[in-house]
Structure 1
């Protein structure tokens, strides 16, 4: 499948988190062009590689090793190809092999399966990366190549919609009562699996059906939240602007000092303010550059940088005037991450993994729902007595 040519429904499964929480957003953002970033194109390339490897694993006769090699060779011609994609898609395949072993017998596997979601979402459809069915269980596995935000499988509306579509398509052939949803996000080491009953999935189906009926007509109330992140209307959305201005300029605070509970609440409420201002600035700059006026603002040339017209010729002149060549160059090793990228993840681990140690990261503030263990500067009794 050509992943770049995938169609998108008005109420897309990938955007379900957004239009279920803010029902008018789908119709509103349909007025904006659906642009593609370089990161998205990179993800598309990685998905095509992952699909080729999965086809070879599941349909070895039809998609032989030779065919896989030729396919990978073709993908490597893409300007966005990175050697690390090979290792990360291998991680995806390792996860699929482990999941396949959880079934009592070899499961039925569907790859890049287009699913009809019309029963629940008007005009809805989606494409699941991998579906496994067997022994009363159906599993939806989704490959995420992004590394910005960890994606959880638990109550993930995109995967739950895929599961509903798979139920519609396969339930008459394979009866099942258990549903497993899995996310594989190898670039940040995030593998997430959540299990629910078919009854719970169908209950979600009724919930999403009600929200989709409203969203398809652009009805309901605007409800800004973290789901605004990928909305194409996020910069101009009036509801988001009014909510963030209200949060940013709250002044009715009587106590001189905030309590920790209040600080936690403000951090939660104000999380989108900085993102909103950045989105607003980027939109205003684009408007100014396009020749349109934004009251009180204009686009100007930023601080410039100098560059050589002909560095080699310039160095020849400097060296000829008496400056040693060694003074014009510095020898500098690549970073560990850069070396791993050049060598390849698996080869790096095999060849020099014993020479790498992971140092603890700098303390950072995250939401309580984050799966990493909390740390503190408080000394425990064990540490004192040891």
Structure 2
């Protein structure tokens, strides 16, 4: 059975926040799973197993069923499980009994119509909510600073726990071992909620209706309609014009001529 994807997913939020109408256009096209995505899915399966095992759960080892398992994946997922357990140990210093949840479905539809996703790891320790996301990718270095995917996940986690815990801070970490990248962004709950109301929600409402302006930029990289997008073609043409702009002063060969 194919996995259900949200039209306004957290993983594509970087794109639809910048270019709201692209969301509905992309939703019209079928999902295509790359080898890199399937490799990432296998790595996440192994991450989940190793963390839950470290937490004392008895589970069947999925390694033999993984298509893309190799020694590098084994090492990366070991590092991730160790990192999560270190974060949990650090949380226990200030909180007697922190809550940890693995592969938790998160609903942020309060701000994004139909918005949901899955948090790799959540740790709630009194006034601090920690969200950790594993990235197996090697091609793109992922930064946690003001990362909209992580902020959507944090909002979904707040939706679950804010009435139970007096959360004041949110810490969001990208763990990307193949790039030796551990990136963390921490913000106050108020700052996150202000972003949700003033930036996320208005853009999501436009995106859900297929409205707003098309805008080209770095966010086009993983867009399904980039090959036929007029705005992107105009953007690339403008870049080309800039690259080949006639210099304001004559070159030596022109002076000689």
Q: TM-score, normalised by structure 2?
A: 0.91
* Residue 217 (str. 1) matches residue 185 (str. 2): no
Instruction: Supply the RMSD in Å over aligned alpha carbons.
Output: 1.7
Q: Which residue of the other structure, out of 208, 211, 214, is the alignment partner of 2:200?
A: 208
* Residue 53 (str. 1) matches residue 50 (str. 2): yes
Partner of 1:11: 8
Larger of the two Rg values belongs to structure: 1
**What stretches of structure 1 of length at least 5 have no aligned partner?**
259-386
Aligned residues: 246
Displacement of 1:257 in angstroms is 7.7
Q: Secondary structure at the match of 2:221?
A: helix
Aligned-partner Cα distance in 2 for 1:197–1:257: 55
* Residue 34 (str. 1) matches residue 31 (str. 2): yes
Displacement of 1:71 in angstroms is 1.8
Deviations 1:206-238 (A, max 9, x none): 120111000111111111010001111111111
Report the structure, 1 or 2, having the larger strand content. Answer: 2
Aligned-partner Cα distance in 1 for 2:250–2:31: 45
Contact 2:42 2:67 in 1 (8 A): no
Q: Which residue of the other structure, out of 78, 86, 109, is the alignment partner of 1:98?
A: 86
Aligned-partner Cα distance in 2 for 1:79–1:164: 33
* Residue 199 (str. 1) matches residue 187 (str. 2): no
* Residue 71 (str. 1) matches residue 61 (str. 2): yes
Q: Which residue of the other structure, out of 120, 135, 142, is the alignment partner of 1:129?
A: 120
Aligned-partner Cα distance in 1 for 2:46–2:3: 16
Partner of 1:246: 238
Moved more, 24-33 or 222-231: 24-33
Q: Secondary structure at the match of 1:71?
A: coil
Q: Which has the higher contact order (CA 8 A, sep 6+)?
A: 2
Q: TM-score, normalised by structure 1?
A: 0.61
Deviations 1:256-280 (A, max 9, x none): 489xxxxxxxxxxxxxxxxxxxxxx
